[in-house]
Amino acid sequence: MSLGKSVTLNNGLKMPLIGLGTYLSKPKEVEDAVAHALKIGYRHIDCARFYENEAEVGRGIKKSGVPREEIFITSKIWNNHRRPEYARAALEGMLKDLQVDYVDQLLIHWPIAFKPGDDMIPIDKATGKVIIDDYPISEAWKTYEQFLEEGKVKSIGVSNFNIKKLEKLLETAKVPPAANQVELHAYLQQPELVKYCQGKGIAVVAWAPLGNQASPLSIRDKVPSKRVIDDPKVKEISARVKADPAQVLLAWFTHKNIVAIPKSVTPSRIETNFKQIVLDAESIAEIDALEKNLRVDPPAWGVDIFDQGPEVMDPIEKDAIEARLAGKAGL
């Protein structure tokens, strides 16, 4: 399935260690990016209903000419489509947009449910807070298990779950999650979570692996996010091993058997990210030492996602999302 290395999931399916992320990719750009990535050897594409570009991803897959069975496609259902009827409609819309009969992996995007409906970030006008739905994760998981039985997905997993939430899910799950996709990079290494997941046979997938996700706070303040890829130590290692900084960081993930899904729409960058290198022990240790416990893209919804107390609700999160989704369908 992959022209590079892969990790074997707990159901025997192989997931390529390097994939193409599609978050914040504009429609025409993402179509061309997906097609180019697949043509040069990528076999893992990461998408989500929330990204609102799966139709373009589907066209990119078709344009590439790569057979469907060679491609590992991951997608996610958003928080407002947690209940069975909404989740099923989201899955059907996903398959239609991607022009496929199944996805290789379907994830619960966040461990929180919003008010069911077409509004992706439903806000209570009286309180200014996100409207939460108390629908249990355990019930949502049963729906995902049903999708698995129907053959519409080949594996099921979660995203942005901490150890506590994974333990709660495993208490009732008939099928354990195959993967947990989380923010993970040299500034946010989450070693305890990685150890827990890998010990349970749950593959770890890193989003924002280069630490350069555009966060609501950086957009508001008109300053760039703290980018791991720009760290002096990363640049030092890059010069020493004669490789691109992104290649250095992605090699760090591969060494730890963690899947990484860097996003790019630039052909040369897509190619660079796919050229895998191997780092020596010294370089691995130097990157390990960069840990800052720093999230570059916290959800900022004013709710408690990580069991560390409610995060501040940042108005720009709502404004930016509404502007981006203006005139687009909810599913």
Read off the pLDDT of residues 58-71 as tens digits, 9 standing for 90 and up.
999 999 999 999 99
Q: Where are the alpha helices (H) located in 99-162, listed in sequence order?
A: 137-150
Q: Which of 11, 82, 70, 8 is nearest to 43 (CA)?
A: 70
The mean per-residue pLDDT over the stretch 195-203 comes to 99
pLDDT at 80 over 50: yes
pTM above 0.85, yes or no: yes
pLDDT at 219 over 50: no
> Which entry of 51, 86, 144, 187 is annotated as an active-site residue?
51
pLDDT at 225: 58
Looking at the DSSP assignment, which residues form a beta bridge with residue 156? 106
pLDDT at 273: 98
Q: How does pLDDT run across 130-184, given as a tens digit for each residue?
A: 999 999 999 999 999 999 999 999 999 999 999 999 999 999 999 999 999 999 9
pLDDT at 311 over 70: no
Per cent of the chain over pLDDT 90 is 80
Considering the chain, what is the average pLDDT of its residues? 91
pLDDT at 213: 55
Q: How confident is the model at residue 324 (pLDDT cuts 50, 70, 90)?
A: very low
51 is catalytic: yes
Q: How does pLDDT run across 236-257, given as a tens digit for each residue?
A: 999 999 999 999 999 999 999 9
CATH code for the structural domain at 6-325: 3.20.20.100
pLDDT at 296: 86
pLDDT at 308: 77
Per cent of the chain over pLDDT 70 is 89
Q: How confident is the model at residue 307 (pLDDT cuts 50, 70, 90)?
A: confident
pLDDT at 87 over 90: yes
pLDDT at 281 over 60: yes
pLDDT at 304: 86
Give the 3-state secondary structure of residue 123: strand
Helix (H) or strand (E) holding 32, with range, is helix 27-40
pLDDT at 313: 59
Which of the residue ranges 29-43, 100-114, 125-139 would you say has the lowest mean pLDDT?
125-139
pLDDT at 286: 99
* Residue 137 vs residue 125, higher pLDDT: 137
pLDDT at 189 over 60: yes
pLDDT at 96: 99
Q: How confident is the model at residue 299 (pLDDT cuts 50, 70, 90)?
A: confident
The domain ranges of the chain are: 6-325
pLDDT at 89: 98
pLDDT at 113: 98
pLDDT at 229: 94
Q: Tell me if 185 is assigned to a ligand binding site.
A: no
